[in-house]
Amino acid sequence: MNSITAYYIILFGNCQMKPDYKEIRRNIKEFRGLETDIMNKVLILTNSIKGLYCFRKELIEELMKEGFEVSISSPGDSKNSYFKELGCNLTDTSIDRRGTNPIKDLKLFTDYIKIIAEIKPNIVLTYTIKPNVYGGLACRLLRVPYIANITGLGTSIERKGIISAISLMLYKIGLKDASCIFFQNSANKDFFIKNGIVDDRKAREIPGSGVNLQDHALEEYPGEDENIRFLFIGRIMKSKGIEELFEAARIIKEIYPSVEFHLIGEKEENYEKIINDLENRQIIQYHGYQENIHGFIKRSHATINPSYHEGMSNVLLESASAGRPVLASNVPGCKETFDEGISGFGFTVKNVDSLVEAIIKFIQLPYEDKKKMGLAGRRKMEKEFDRNLVLKAYLEQIKSILKEN
């Protein structure tokens, strides 16, 4: 049994809907019989056009400048207009980001085959788990070079168990023929290599998505006489460490009543009641989802990220770039973004006492030391996490692959 046969058995074995193999074979046959156009075409597969805009628009802009024809397959949203005006071709592709429904995943896989067969790209860039897996498999079948980006292990792998095993097997199938796999931290890269999912010769580490140093410019630090404001930015969900943060905020407010905790991000339904309770008790201030977070970072004294796992925390990169100290769990994707005691403080993941200790340590710092910590974070971003470093790595890899093909 080959790997693709195994893939179908696992994904569709218990599914009433059968794949349209004739349609799949027809798309593959037609694609392989067509000659490529003179202009190099790049196809990007992603689960969020908004994420593409926030973290990868500079790469797309540069590809357009260099004469590439860029197509994007993603669920549509308000940022579609930006890429249309830029001259990109957009295909609205439905993705059940967190679901495990095999029928929906089969449709995504066949959609990718049709999209690739129609566009005939010279190279495909994939981001996040489902585009990496199903887009990667479609590229394998159509013999198109592709570059994958592992933005983090994700909850399905972190939790272990049968779902984790299936996810890893699908990753192994989807990434098998990738020309290059970019990893956002060394721990994730080592995990994939150690478990035989990727060839270490194809694995390459980049500094996350990098940070746009102009969009997140250095800001003047808040005044010494202002109440200390901590900021959390992220989805209100368990794996983001929100429950530990809630408990830590309760404890801190008893000791330092004037300290403020500001939260930004969409919330999962099961946190509605507790957020309302904490707001009524003036323990937190919840601002919901915000399109522009830079203003909140500017008004804060430090950003807290108690996440259980990250690829590379963009929130911490953006906060440090603006000159704000960061407090973060000591997990891959967070701990790389600061230097302990110099630009931030780390704490043990899933540990309220450790989080409280880090918060108090920051509160008790002299005002000038807080400012120096923020400036140290900015310097670190300029040296290690400038988005131009990621841009350069991608352009080098794309040109190298196209030259070989």
Taking the domain 3-210+387-404, which CATH number applies?
3.40.50.2000
Q: Identify the pLDDT of residue 260.
A: 98
Burial of 85 (0-12, 13-18, 19+ CB in 10 A): exposed
CA-derived radius of gyration, the chain = 22
Whether 9 has a pLDDT exceeding 50, the answer reads: no
pTM above 0.75, yes or no: yes
pLDDT 10s digits, 293-342: 999 999 999 999 999 999 899 999 999 999 999 999 999 999 999 999 99
Whether 27 has a pLDDT exceeding 90, the answer reads: no
Taking the domain 229-384, which CATH number applies?
3.40.50.2000
Do the first three CATH levels of 3-210+387-404 and 229-384 match, i.e. the same topology? Answer: yes
Q: Identify the pLDDT of residue 285.
A: 98
Q: Cα 96 to chain center, whole Å?
A: 16
pLDDT 10s digits, 233-284: 999 999 999 999 999 999 999 999 999 999 999 998 899 999 999 999 999 9
Q: Is 58 helix (H, G, I), strand (E, B) or coil?
A: helix
CA distance 401 to 18: 35
Q: What is the DSSP string of 301-352?
A: SEEEE--S--SS-HHHHHHHHTT--EEEESSTTTGGGS-BTTTEEEE-TT-H
The domains of the chain are located at 3-210+387-404, 229-384
Q: What is the DSSP string of 339-368?
A: -BTTTEEEE-TT-HHHHHHHHHHHHTS-HH
